[in-house]
């Protein structure tokens, strides 16, 4: 079984925004810096006024890997994991598995869109290639 | 006034192996006896104790022994003891011990690392996977494990993908790292992987996390290693010439994360290594042997660049030119490294570098090796150290 994230004051908005389909990123209210992983203090200006806001839920692959090893018994392999530069949140990346199509077809620079799957009170992010069927087979 | 620099006066490694089913404390006692014998010290001389991370269940068999149990089992009466769960990880206890002996907290500090990851995997608990078997996970791991990136092979894999993309490295280059270290292991009776490995074997092995295959990953083992850190004046008590810790570096300029560092073709190693060179007049060209963290093969070229042995993006040419293997100008991980020798979380690599400086590396000895550069860790974990024998 894959462990789920602990919900904290910092992280709850990120892990529950998926219930509404929203990718929630923390921003400093004072200096507008995006902060990820989220914190309750801005590391630029030390403001304690930090608010999670929905961003577009799209981005560009910065890097990726295709995992072939079943690390736990119920893990279906292979699957791609993408580290994605998130639109509307400068300097922020969100890492998640990629669904739809051949995992080996995921490349740096591809445009991605997010959706979420529920898992026991949290919503885990999943990327898919923009314009491709997130549940599709083949290339 | 500058304080006299700390030294390393003895190291020892247990008989390491896979599925030994020996208690971790047996491995540790064996490594301790060997380190004491090499140093010419007895247990009564040991007045300090330090380890990373302390007793922990981050993953099965990753750290079965803490300072409390080891003090008890070895009957130590210490003036100073400490475990270091944060900081530059693999190298942290050596660094903290060096600071302890320089400030007079202890004279001879026994630093240890013990692992039983192989046996833990053998009894059905998956080793090397953080948080395995837990329902929930927190901290920096919570941004990796729940999104399918359960293994450091995934995190190192996506670093390799980016590096390949920017600089044209291929699996052939990583294969040269793996086969070169295996060639060293063939000359090291203590290494766990002692069959020859060809580039064809490397390419034929199964993929783990693209572009990293089986032989790009280090080998989980059971074993222990001990490094004795001594005060400069205390080193006169010892049998071997002291290895002076000429400089240390553990700077970190990015966050505790495997995916947010702005340039993932660099890692914490680059910050720590720059700080190392800022603290010494030595230059990379002074190095005779290198001990570079090879939890995954991709870390070796990154450490080479971090330490300035070649420029950013040039490691593939540096490796292809034959610099790092047997007979090379800058031999890396001459005992086989963790890829072929087994994973002792940097302590095994440091032990090997010390053997080289003492001239005790037998069939793989680098002639008149006097200066070693050590770089430990991957991702945001990094510590660098320069050792010199006068």
Query: Residue B162 domain-assigned?
Result: yes
Residues B211 and B227 in one domain: no
Chain B residues with at least one Cβ partner in A under 8 Å: 126, 129, 131-138, 140, 142-151, 153-154, 157-162, 165, 206-212, 257, 259-260, 262, 264
State which residues of chain B have pLDDT below 50: none
**What would the two tokens of residue B5 be?**
């620099």
| Residue ranges in A18-137 assigned as alpha helix (H) | none
Given B189, B206, B237, the domain boundary residue is B237
Residues B227 and B303 in one domain: no
Q: Give A-chain residues touching B252 at CB under 8 angstroms.
A: none
Query: Residue B209 domain-assigned?
Result: yes
Residues B105 and B179 in one domain: no
The model's pLDDT over A13-41, given as tens digits with 9 standing for 90+, comes to 999 999 999 999 999 999 999 999 999 99
Q: How far is B63 from chain A (nearest CA, A)?
A: 20
Residues B256 and B371 in one domain: yes
Determine the residue among B137, B149, B151, B379 to mutate to test chain A binding: the one whose Cβ has the most chain A Cβ atoms within 10 Å.
B149
| pLDDT of the residue at B298 | 98
Max CA distance (Å), chain A: 48
Residues B165 and B116 in one domain: no
**CB distance A2–B145 less than 8 Å?**
yes
| pLDDT of the residue at B135 | 87
Q: How far apart are CA B269 and CA B6, in angstroms?
A: 22
Do B373 and B279 form a contact (C-beta atoms < 8 A)?
A: no
| pLDDT of the residue at B125 | 53
**CB distance B207–A68 less than 8 Å?**
yes
In Å, how far are A32, B178, B199 from B175, measured between CA atoms? 45, 5, 6
The model's pLDDT over B322-365, given as tens digits with 9 standing for 90+, comes to 999 999 999 999 999 999 999 999 999 999 999 999 999 999 99
Residues B208 and B253 in one domain: yes
Query: Residue B138 domain-assigned?
Result: no
| pLDDT of the residue at B9 | 98
Q: What CATH number is given to the structural domain containing B99?
A: 3.40.47.10
Residues B28 and B55 in one domain: yes
| pLDDT of the residue at B120 | 83
Q: How far apart are CA A16 and CA A14, in angstroms?
A: 6
| pLDDT of the residue at A137 | 78
Residues B161 and B57 in one domain: no
| pLDDT of the residue at B1 | 53
Which chain B residue lies closest to A10 (C-alpha atoms)? B139
**What would the two tokens of residue A44 be?**
């630029």
Which chain A residue lies closest to B162 (C-alpha atoms)? A63
Residues B170 and B305 in one domain: yes
**What would the two tokens of residue A80 be?**
């791609």
Is some CB atom of chain B closer than 8 A to the CB atom of A115? no
Q: How far apart are CA B270 and CA B267, in angstroms?
A: 6
Delimit the domains of chain A by residue range: 12-129
| pLDDT of the residue at B270 | 98
Q: Give A-chain residues touching B209 at CB under 8 angstroms.
A: 65-69
SS3 letters for chain B?
CCCCCCEEEEEEECCCECCCCCCHHHHHHHHHHHHHHHHCCCHHHCCEEEECCCCECCCCCCECCCHHHHHHHHCCCCCEEEECCCCCHHHHHHHHHHHHHHCCCCCEEEEEEEEEHHHHHHCCCCCCCCCCCCCEECHHHHHCHHHCCCCHHHHHHHHHHHHHHHHCCCHHHHHHHHHHHHHHHCCCCCCCCCCCCCHHHHHHCCEEECCEEHHHECCCCEEEEEEEEECCCHHHHCCCCCEEEEEEECCCCCCCCCCCCCCCCCCHHHHHHHHHHHCCCCCHHHCCEEEECCCECCHHHHHHHHCCCCCCCCHHHHHHCCCCCCCCCCCECCCCHHHHHCCCCCHHHHHHHHHHHHCCCHHHCCCCCCEEEEEECCCCCCEEEEEECC
Question: Rg of chain A's alpha carbons, rounded to an integer?
Answer: 16
Q: How far is B215 from chain A (nearest CA, A)?
A: 14
Q: What's the domain range around B308?
A: 151-219+245-388
Q: How far apart are CA A113 and CA B4, in angstroms?
A: 58
Q: Give B-chain residues touching A108 at CB under 8 angstroms.
A: 161-162, 165
Which chain A residue lies closest to B159 (C-alpha atoms)? A63
The mean of the pLDDT values for chain A is 96
Residues B351 and B291 in one domain: yes
Which chain B residue lies closest to A14 (C-alpha atoms)? B143
**CB distance A4–B262 less than 8 Å?**
no
Mean pLDDT for the stretch of residues A99-120: 97
pTM over 0.90: yes
Q: Which of A71, A83, A91 comes nearest B262 by C-beta?
A: A91
Residues B230 and B85 in one domain: yes
Residue B103: alpha-carbon gap to chain centroid: 25
pLDDT exceeds cutoff 60 at A6: yes
Domains of chain B: total: 2
**CB distance B147–A81 less than 8 Å?**
yes
Residues B106 and B65 in one domain: yes
Residue B32: alpha-carbon gap to chain centroid: 18
Q: Give A-chain residues touching B165 at CB under 8 angstroms.
A: 63, 108
Query: Residue B250 domain-assigned?
Result: yes
Is the predicted ipTM greater than 0.95, yes or no? yes
């Amino acid at each position: 079984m894959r462990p789920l994230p602990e919900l904290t004051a910092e992280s709850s908005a990120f892990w529950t925004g998926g219930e509404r389909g929203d990718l929630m990123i923390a921003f400093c209210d004072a200096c507008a810096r995006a902060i990820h992983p989220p914190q309750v203090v801005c590391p630029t200006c030390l403001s304690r006024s930090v608010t999670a806001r929905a961003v577009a839920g799209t981005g560009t692959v910065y890097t990726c890997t295709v995992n072939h090893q079943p690390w736990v018994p119920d893990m279906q392999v292979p699957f791609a994991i993408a580290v994605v530069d998130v639109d509307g949140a400068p300097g922020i990346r969100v890492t998640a598995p990629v669904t739809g199509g051949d995992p080996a077809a995921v490349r740096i620079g591809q445009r991605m869109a997010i959706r979420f799957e529920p898992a026991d009170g949290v919503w885990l992010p999943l990327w898919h290639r923009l314009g491709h069927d997130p549940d599709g087979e083949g290339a | 006034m500058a304080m006299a620099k700390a030294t390393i006066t003895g190291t020892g490694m247990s008989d390491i192996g896979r599925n030994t089913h020996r208690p971790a404390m047996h491995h540790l006692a064996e490594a301790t006896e060997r380190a004491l014998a090499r140093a010419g010290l007895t247990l009564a001389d040991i007045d300090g104790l330090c380890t990373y991370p302390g007793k922990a269940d981050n993953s099965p068999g990753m750290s079965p022994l803490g300072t409390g149990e080891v003090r008890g089992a070895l009957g130590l009466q210490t003036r100073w003891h400490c475990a270091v769960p944060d900081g530059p990880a693999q190298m942290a206890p050596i660094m903290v011990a060096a600071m302890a002996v320089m400030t007079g907290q202890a004279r001879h500090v026994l630093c240890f690392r013990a692992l039983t990851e192989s046996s833990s995997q053998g009894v059905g608990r998956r080793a090397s996977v953080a948080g395995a078997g837990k329902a929930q996970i927190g901290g920096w791991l919570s941004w990796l494990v729940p999104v399918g990136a359960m293994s450091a092979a995934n995190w190192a894999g996506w670093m390799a993908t980016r590096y390949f993309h920017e600089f044209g490295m291929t699996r052939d280059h990583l294969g040269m790292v793996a086969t070169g270290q295996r060639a060293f292991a063939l000359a090291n009776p203590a290494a766990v992987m002692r069959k020859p490995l060809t580039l064809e074997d490397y390419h034929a092995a199964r993929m783990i996390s693209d572009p990293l295959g089986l032989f790009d990953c280090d080998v989980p083992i059971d074993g222990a290693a001990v490094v004795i850190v001594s005060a400069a004046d205390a080193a006169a008590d010892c049998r071997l010439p002291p290895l002076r810790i000429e400089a240390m570096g553990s700077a970190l300029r990015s966050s505790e994360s495997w995916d947010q560092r702005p340039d993932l073709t660099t890692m914490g190693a680059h910050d720590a290594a720059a700080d190392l060179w800022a603290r010494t007049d030595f230059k990379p060209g002074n190095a005779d042997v290198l001990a570079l963290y090879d939890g995954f093969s991709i870390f070796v070229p990154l450490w080479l660049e971090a330490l300035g042995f070649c420029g950013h993006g040039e490691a593939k040419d540096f490796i292809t030119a034959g610099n790092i293997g047997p007979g090379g100008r800058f031999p890396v991980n001459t005992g086989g490294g963790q890829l072929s020798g087994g994973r002792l979380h940097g302590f095994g690599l440091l032990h090997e570098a010390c053997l080289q400086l003492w001239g005790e590396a037998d069939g793989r000895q680098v002639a008149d090796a006097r200066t070693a550069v050590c770089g430990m860790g991957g991702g945001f974990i990094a510590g660098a150290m320069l050792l010199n024998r006068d």
